Chain A
C-alpha cells in the first residue's frame, strides 16, 4: 500500500516515521530494563519524599489549569488586556462586529474590483 504523501515540495511517510519511533521506544525500554530493579509496586517507595515533611493533602499539591501559562499571559498583558474585553458575551456586540465586517468586506470588494 502506498503510504508516502507527496506535497509537491517534499514527502511525508508516516509508516517509516512510526517504525523509527517504535525502534527508539524499544531501545529506551531495553535501556530502562537494564537498570537496577529495586522498585516494588505498592511499597513505601511510591510515597513522595518531601525532605522528610509530611505529604500535604492531595488537592494542595495538584497544580490546577488556572496556574499554567501564567507567565505567558502576564508577558502578553498588553495584548490580552485588549483582546479579552472584546469578548463581552453581549449579543448586541456580536452583531455590531458582524455588520462591521459586512461593511468592511463590501468596501474592499468595491475598492479592489
Chain B
C-alpha cells in the first residue's frame, strides 16, 4: 500500500492541532512549522500523484496491512473499512489542491503577518487542507461527508477570521449555513443509499445500485447540495458575500474547496450511478446549471465596484464552463460513438479548466489581496495608478486576467478551446454562449485593470510600494504555472487530463479496483 496516502491527511491534521501549542513558542517557530508541514504535505501529494500516474489506481485501507483485508471473507463481499481510492482523477485533484496550498501558505506568511490570531489561522488552514484532500481521495460516502464538514467548518471560521466591521462574520455565517444545509441533505442521501444497499462504499454501492425511487431522490439531493457548495447558479448567492469578505488567501483556498465539491458531483454521476441513471436528463440538468452560471455570473460581475465581489461573480461564471464540459460527458455517457466523437474532449476541457481556473482565479484573489494589503480598500472607484508602484503585481494581474478571459497563449485558452470545439458538436448554441461569456469576462477585467493599475499616480497612494517577497513568490508561482500550462497544454492533457477523464468514464474499472482488484 502507498504510504503517501495517510500522510496526505495525517500531516496537515497533526500540524493543525500542533499549531496553537507551537504558537506559544513564538511566531518564527510557528511559521517554520507551517512551512515544514506544508512542504511535507505537498511532497507527499506529488509523490502520490506520481505513483498513480505510473502504477494506476491506488487503494488504501485504513487499519489494515493490506487492501484485500478491506473485504473480510465473512462480510458477504461488502468492504467494511474506510478506503481511500486514488485514481487518475483523484490524483489530478490532489495535485491541484497541493499547488494552491503551497502558494497560499507562502503568501499568508506575509499577508497575515500583521494580524492577530495567526495560530488559529494556520490551524484552520491546515484543517481545510485535511478536508479537501480527504474529499477528493476517499472511496467512502460517509467519510466524504466527514471531510466535507471539516472543510466547511474550517472554511467558515477562516472566512470570518477578520472582524472587518461585521462583514466577514456575515460572510462566514452564510458559508457555514449553506454548508450545513448542503451537508445535511448530502447526509440524507447517504442514509437513503445505506438503507437500501447496507454499505457506504462508493464502489460497492455502484456495483449493486438499482434506480429505485429512493436512489433517484438521493441522486438529486447529492447533485443539488454539491452544486450549491460549488457555487452554481441559482444557488450561488453566498459566493460574493463570502469570497469578498474572507482574507484573500482564504478566498483562494475556498476556490479549491468549491472545486472539491464540483469533483464530487461528477464522482457521484460517473462512478456511483453511471449509466444506471438517465444520463441525458442528468447531463442536461448539469449543462443548464452551467449555462446559467456562465452567463449570470459574468453579467453580475460587470457592474460591480468591489473588486473581490467582481472576482467572486467571475468564479461563478467559470464554474459554468466546467459544468458544461463535464455535463456533456454525462449526457453522452452511455453512447460510445458520441463519447469518442466529442464527449471525451468536452470532459477533458472541463477537467483541464478545473486546474486552470484554480490557478488563475487563485492568483486573481491573491492580487486583490495584495492591493488591499497596500491600499486598504477594495473599492474600484477609489483605486488607481498602482501600476506605477506595484509593477510585479500588475504583471501578474495581466497574466491572470488574460488567462481567465481565454486569451492565447495562456492556460485558460487551452481548456476553453477544448470546450468550445467539442460542445459545438453537441449543441452549437452552448458553445456560442460560452464564447460570448469569455468576451464579457475580458471586458470586465479590462475595467479592473484600468481601475486599479492605470491612470496617474494618485496622491493618497504616493507611499504605496510593492508587496513583500513571500507574497510575490506565492503569486509568481501561480503565474509561472499559468504560462507553462498555456505553452505546453498537450503535455498536461496527455499526462494528467486524459487519464483523469478516462478514469471518470471507466465505472467498471473503478468498481473492480476496489471490489475485484484487491
Residues of A at the B interface (CB closer than 8 Å) are 1-10, 12, 14-15, 17-18, 21, 57-59, 61-66, 68-69, 72-73, 79-80, 83-84, 87-89, 91, 93-95, 97-98, 100-102, 105-106, 108-110, 112-113
Contact, CB under 8 Å: B414 / A109: no
In which size bucket is the chain B interface? 35 or more
CB–CB A17/B380 < 8 A = no
- With the chains together, A80 CA to B235 CA distance in Å? 18
- Report yes or no: B300 in contact with A7, Cβ–Cβ below 8 A: no
Contact of B319 with A by CB under 8 A = no
In the bound assembly, the distance between CA atoms of A18 and B341 in angstroms comes to 30
| Residue B4 lies at the interface, judged by CB distance under 8 Å to chain A | no
Partner of B414, one of A5, A9, A66, A93: A5
1/0 per residue, CB under 8 A from A, across B431-460: the answer is: 000000000000100011011000111111
Q: B218-246: contact bitstring with A at CB < 8 Å (1 yes, 0 no)?
A: 01110110011000001101101100000
Assess whether A73 is in contact with B174, with CB atoms less than 8 Å apart: no
- With A59-B458, A62-B384, A98-B181 as given contacts, are A14 and B451 in contact (CB-CB < 8 Å)? no
Counting CB contacts under 8 A, is B296 at the interface? yes
- B512 within 8 Å of A by Cβ? no
Contacting residues, chain A, for B234 (C-beta < 8 A): 97, 100-101
Q: Which residue of the partner chain, among A6, A73, A97, A109, contacts B216 with CB atoms under 8 Å?
A: A109
B238 to nearest A CB, angstroms? 6
Flag if A5 contacts B489 (CB, 8 Å): yes
Question: Among B282, B303, B408, B424, which residue has its beta carbon within 8 angstroms of that of A109?
Answer: B282
Contact indicator B299/A17 (Cβ below 8 Å): no
A18→B409 contact, CB < 8 A: yes
Q: How far is the CA of A88 from the CA of B174 in the complex (A)?
A: 13
B291: min CB distance to chain A, Å? 14
Q: Is B372 an interface residue (CB 8 A)?
A: no
Asked whether B36 is an interface residue with its Cβ less than 8 Å from the other chain, the reply is no
Q: Does B488 contact A (CB under 8 A)?
A: yes
Question: B450, A63: Cβ atoms under 8 Å?
Answer: yes
Residues of A within 8 A of B162 (CB): none
Residues of B within 8 A of A (CB): 173-174, 177-178, 181, 185, 211, 216-217, 219-221, 223-224, 227-228, 234-235, 237-238, 240-241, 277-278, 280-282, 285, 296, 299-300, 302-303, 305, 307, 341-342, 345, 380-385, 408-409, 413-414, 417-418, 421-422, 424-425, 443, 447-448, 450-451, 455-460, 486-491, 493-494
Taking CB atoms, residues of chain A closer than 8 Å to B488 are 1, 3, 14
Known: A21-B409, A68-B450. 13 other contacts (CB 8 A): A9-B345, A9-B425, A12-B489, A15-B487, A18-B487, A61-B455, A62-B458, A65-B383, A79-B299, A94-B235, A102-B224, A105-B223, A113-B216
Contact: A102 with B221, CB < 8 Å?
A: yes
Once bound together, how far apart are the Cα atoms of A100 and B164, in whole Å?
33
Task: Find chain A residues with CB under 8 A from B220 CB.
Answer: 102, 105-106, 109
Task: Report B180 CB to chain A, min CB distance, Å.
Answer: 11
Give chain A residues whose Cβ lies under 8 Å from the Cβ of B181.
Answer: 95, 98
Q: Which residues of A contact B285 (CB under 8 A)?
A: 105, 108-109
Interface pair A109/B281, CB less than 8 Å apart: yes
- Known: A2-B490, A65-B451, A105-B223. Contact between A91 and B177, CB under 8 A? yes
User: Considering only CB atoms, which chain A residue lies closest to B411 in the complex?
Assistant: A14
Q: How many A-B residue pairs have CB under 8 A?
A: 171
Give the residues in chain B near A101, CB-CB below 8 Å.
224, 227, 234-235
**Chain A residues in 8 Å Cβ range of B299:** 79-80, 83
CA distance A14 to B240 in the complex (A): 34
Q: Which 3 A-B pairs have the closest CB atoms?
A: A65-B380, A65-B451, A14-B409
Residues in B neighbouring A100, C-beta threshold 8 A:
234
**Contact across chains for A112 and B224 when beta carbons are under 8 A apart:** no
Whether the pair B296, A83 counts as a contact (CB closer than 8 A) is yes
Q: In whole angstroms, what is the CA distance A89 to B239 when docked?
A: 11
Jot down 8 A-B pairs with beta carbons below 8 A, ordered by A: A1-B488, A1-B491, A5-B493, A8-B341, A17-B409, A65-B451, A105-B220, A113-B278
CB distance from B331 to the nearest CB of A (A): 12
Contact present for A69 and B489 (CB under 8 Å): no
CB-defined contacts of A87 to chain B, threshold 8 Å: 237, 240, 300
- Assuming the contacts A7-B418, A61-B455, A109-B282, asked whether A14 and B489 have C-beta atoms less than 8 A apart, the reply is yes
A93→B489 contact, CB < 8 A = no
List residues of chain A with CB within 8 A of the CB of B227.
Answer: 101
Chain A contacts of B460 at CB under 8 A?
A: 59
Q: How far is the CA of A89 from the CA of B456 in the complex (A)?
A: 35
- Which chain B residues lie closer than 8 Å to A12 at the CB level? 408, 413-414, 417, 489
Instruction: Please tell me which one of the listed residues A57, A80, A98 contacts residue B224 in the complex, with CB atoms under 8 A apart.
Output: A98
CB pair A91 B174 closer than 8 Å: yes
Least CB separation from B278: chain A residue: A113
Q: How far is the CB of B174 from the nearest CB of chain A, in Å? A: 6
In the complex, A9 Cα to B219 Cα: how many Å?
Answer: 34
Which residues on B sit within 8 Å (CB–CB) of A61? 455-456
Contact of B451 among A6, A15, A68, A73 (CB under 8 A): A68
Collect the chain A residues with CB atoms within 8 Å of residue B414's CB: 5, 12, 14
Q: Which of B228, B281, B418, B457 is within 8 Å of A108, CB to CB?
A: B281
List residues of chain B with CB within 8 A of the CB of A1: 488, 491
**Which has the most chain B C-beta neighbours within 10 Å: A4, A17, A62?**
A62
